[in-house]
Structure 1
């Protein structure tokens, strides 16, 4: 079950982000999310904007993500490729799993497609697990974007 995040969910989300950072390090991706990211402040801002969601399984929070409909400033410029569509889109950010649920990315993508038929997502070049998940779902590679801090990310999109 996917539902909007509530303030009482923040400790569980922060624990999931801790587990995700550790998993990324173990998988050869130690720099995508430094210890301070995603911060509690970012999670609380996502909740206030209504863009934070949790995935529950048997009453336990097993995953989280942000889904933002509208223009993403980091997606204004794309290098070494292009977006496949120019229509309004939703962006998936900060997706993470506790490691206790199978198919969490697919559940997230399905949920987001129910809200918006055109999705965009990005990930770090070292995040092999997320790259595999987006490609397995059918996202298409689009090129490279840069975050506000200048960090490069591989960009993908998907249209229903």
Structure 2
């Protein structure tokens, strides 16, 4: 049975391993997503400090990670397209599933947890973005009920200016 835990220092090595697996997979798909140093150990350490990252744990094994943000994302201020909602939203970032756990519905359960957190906090919608050619993630997003809304460019960090497809799920 999948359970969710707030990330803590005890899990940092496993979080970095899963992130490296994800970076390798994206590289093997020929994508530049997550190839410029993000997400890094420092990003996860700040997330742990902020208490905004969740681990998907099954049978004692961390199978996935996601960050859950409740503050507006600067990357989402300008969109070539249109969001489904106006106003407050939660967003999910740095969603990754461990090698050997892919195709087992882990991402779907993480999205469901994000939706549950957003509902509990009174948000009407959840936003997320991914690389235009990250088709496995786009399939997972569609399956979870996210709708494509248009294109955005990332703001800040080592991926500043990179193109992404933005998605939103109305709760």
Structures share fold, TM-score greater than 0.5: yes
Is 1:20 the equivalent of 2:31?
Answer: no
Q: Which residue of 1 aligns with 2:55?
A: 54
Deviation for aligned residue 1:36: 2.0
Deviation for aligned residue 1:88: 1.3
Contact 2:64–2:107 (CA under 8 A) maintained in structure 1:
no
Aligned with 1:83: secondary structure? coil
Is 1:86 the equivalent of 2:93?
Answer: no
Deviation for aligned residue 1:52: 1.0
Where does the alignment leave 5 or more consecutive residues of structure 2 unmatched?
120-124
Between 128-137 and 32-41, report the one with greater CA deviation: 32-41
Contact 2:78–2:152 (CA under 8 A) maintained in structure 1:
yes
The match for 1:106 among 108, 115, 118 is 108
Deviation for aligned residue 1:69: 1.0
Contact 1:3–1:53 (CA under 8 A) maintained in structure 2:
yes
Q: Which residue of 2 aligns with 1:115?
A: 117
Is 1:139 the equivalent of 2:141?
Answer: no
Aligned with 2:19: secondary structure? helix
**TM-score where L is the length of structure 1:** 0.94
Where does the alignment leave 5 or more consecutive residues of structure 1 unmatched?
none
CA distance in 1, matches of 2:133, 2:4: 28
Contact 2:112–2:144 (CA under 8 A) maintained in structure 1:
no
Contact 1:21–1:35 (CA under 8 A) maintained in structure 2:
no
Superposition RMSD in Å: 1.2
CA distance in 1, matches of 2:87, 2:75: 16
Aligned with 1:43: secondary structure? helix
